[in-house]
Amino acid sequence: MLYKLSEEQEMFRQTVARFAKDKVAPRVSEMDKKDCFPKDLYQEIAKMGLPALFYPSEYGGSDADLLTCCLASEEICKVSTSVGAFLGSIHSLFSSCFKLSASKEQKERHLPDVVSGRKLCAFGLTEPDAGSDIASMRSNAILNGDEYILNGVKNFNSGIDFADMTLVYAKTDPNAGIKGISAFIVEKGTKGFSYSVTGKMMGFRGIHHCESVFEDCRVPKENLIGKEGEGFKTVLSVLDEGRTLAGASGVGTAQGALDYAIHYAKERVQFGRPIAEFQAINHILADMATNTEAARQLVYRAATIVREHTKESMKLATMAKYFATDVAMKVTSRAVDILGGYGYSEEYPIERMMRDAKGLQIYEGTNQIQRNAVARVLLT
């Protein structure tokens, strides 16, 4: 299958690369040190049309294919994994759920504001006792007249502190297992909905990970997305796109670290010559580049077929997620080696890239769980 970039996609990639260099890169150090996400930066991202990539044209979106979305995440992640991964994961999860399950009225109500950047969405799935094991979630929603009464706790919810609405998953039938899970839109300010930042993370700084609490939270019946009990089926389809985009984030993070390491190796002089001339450094850089390119091709391959929602597409999306993010961890670690003591210093970006790469291995499902998922496909 061909997945060479078209002329239009290559031009788009270059445009996003310039945007990342000019608008995102100057803010990254501040974001990391202060653990803050500048809202004006998100508005710049929205003006650039990056959220629109994930949404249908009839609601102001660009109807971009998944490969184009991956290119955007990859280029942003070269300078900031926090921004690139957040952009890709949040909008892919939200838009995929809406495209699969939301009514026309729900799309008309919510999507134009999200596409334009006037409103920001978030995603609430993980719970303290239900991470990889989604079926064990305890959040529940009971229909009472024209409202659902939602109770439960979600954690590791990225960006809920500045989101205007959250896509929340809860059980509408606690006795039905995974077939009892449903999806709801909960808007900021809804009575009974509160959140708190859970603390500073090792990486992904600037994007706060929050705990959300729902205490007799009354959600209008029209905020149910799709039908009761269809939430888990939607999650499975949604996560395939999210995993592919996580893989693209891994590729971008690895490429950013590789580019910096190459530049440093050319400039750093030891024993009278640049360290780039030493064979040991050559071999490290060659392995970094080879692994990054292998990860890129797997991600691009997955991106071309994931929306078919077949066993093969699920397998490739899962492979892309764990392989590319493992590569990001390896490449950023080797970049630290090349920079030596400077690589371990906060004054240089490589240590941040390595911290972020570790986060990529965990979010969207740990890489151990991803391997289990691939094995299940192979053995059935």
Q: Classify residue 11 as exposed, middle or buried by CB count within 10 Å of its CB (0-12, 13-18, 19+).
A: exposed
pLDDT tens-digit map of 328-375: 999 999 999 999 999 999 999 999 999 999 999 998 889 999 999 999
* Residue 309 sits in the same domain as residue 344: yes
In a domain, 60, yes or no: yes
* CATH assignment of the domain containing 216: 2.40.110.10
* Residue 190 sits in the same domain as residue 250: no
Q: Give the number of domains in the chain.
A: 3
Strand pairing class (140-144; 147-158): antiparallel
* Residue 85 sits in the same domain as residue 195: no
* Residue 265 sits in the same domain as residue 221: no
Comparing CA positions, the residue from 255, 242, 260, 247 lying closest to residue 326 is: 247
CA distance 357 to 328: 6
* CATH assignment of the domain containing 65: 1.10.540.10
* Residue 332 sits in the same domain as residue 263: yes
In a domain, 243, yes or no: yes
* Residue 133 sits in the same domain as residue 191: yes
* Residue 246 sits in the same domain as residue 373: yes
Six token digits for residue 134: 């989604």
* Residue 252 sits in the same domain as residue 360: yes
* Residue 141 sits in the same domain as residue 206: yes
CA distance 210 to 196: 5
Q: Which residues contact 31 (CB under 8 A, 6 or more apart)?
A: 37, 38, 80, 82, 83, 205, 206
CA distance 171 to 153: 12
Instruction: Pick 336 or 241 by higher pLDDT.
Output: 336
Q: Angle CA(51)–CA(91)–CA(301) in degrees, nearest 5?
A: 95
Domain that holds residue 130: 121-229
Number of separate helices (H) and strands (E) present in the chain: 11, 10
The distance from CA 28 to its chain's CA centroid, rounded to whole angstroms, is 17
* Residue 110 sits in the same domain as residue 151: no
Range with lowest mean pLDDT among 8-12, 111-115, 126-130, 348-352: 126-130
CA distance 73 to 13: 10
* Residue 225 sits in the same domain as residue 247: no
CA-based torsion, 130, 253, 241, 287: positive or negative: negative
pLDDT tens-digit map of 243-274: 999 999 999 999 999 999 999 999 999 999 99
pLDDT tens-digit map of 152-199: 999 988 888 888 999 999 999 988 888 999 999 999 999 999 999 887
In a domain, 247, yes or no: yes
The distance from CA 80 to its chain's CA centroid, rounded to whole angstroms, is 12
In a domain, 1, yes or no: no
Six token digits for residue 374: 């691939």
> pLDDT above 70 covers what percent of the chain?
99
pLDDT tens-digit map of 207-239: 888 899 999 999 999 999 999 998 887 877 778
Q: Read off the pLDDT band of 3 (50, 70, 90).
A: low
The mean pLDDT value of the chain amounts to 93
* CATH assignment of the domain containing 360: 1.20.140.10
In a domain, 2, yes or no: no
In a domain, 207, yes or no: yes
Each residue of 95-120: b (16+ CB within 10 Å) or e? bbbbbbbbeeebbeebbbbbbbbebb
Q: Where does a domain end: 64, 90, 116?
A: 116
Catalytic residue annotation? 364
Q: Quick one: which H or E segment has residue 2?
A: none
pLDDT tens-digit map of 42-88: 999 999 999 999 999 999 999 999 999 999 999 999 999 999 998 88
Q: Where does a domain end: 67, 85, 116?
A: 116
Six token digits for residue 197: 């930042």
Residue 48, helix vs strand vs coil: coil
Six token digits for residue 118: 């006037």
Residue 133, helix vs strand vs coil: coil
Residue 117, helix vs strand vs coil: coil
Instruction: Give the count of alpha carbons within 13 A of 204, CB side only.
Output: 25
* Residue 219 sits in the same domain as residue 290: no
In a domain, 179, yes or no: yes
Q: Where does a domain end: 165, 195, 229?
A: 229
Asked if 120 and 113 count as a contact pair (C-beta separation under 8 A), the reply is no
φ/ψ of 225, rounded to 5, equals -95, 115
In a domain, 162, yes or no: yes
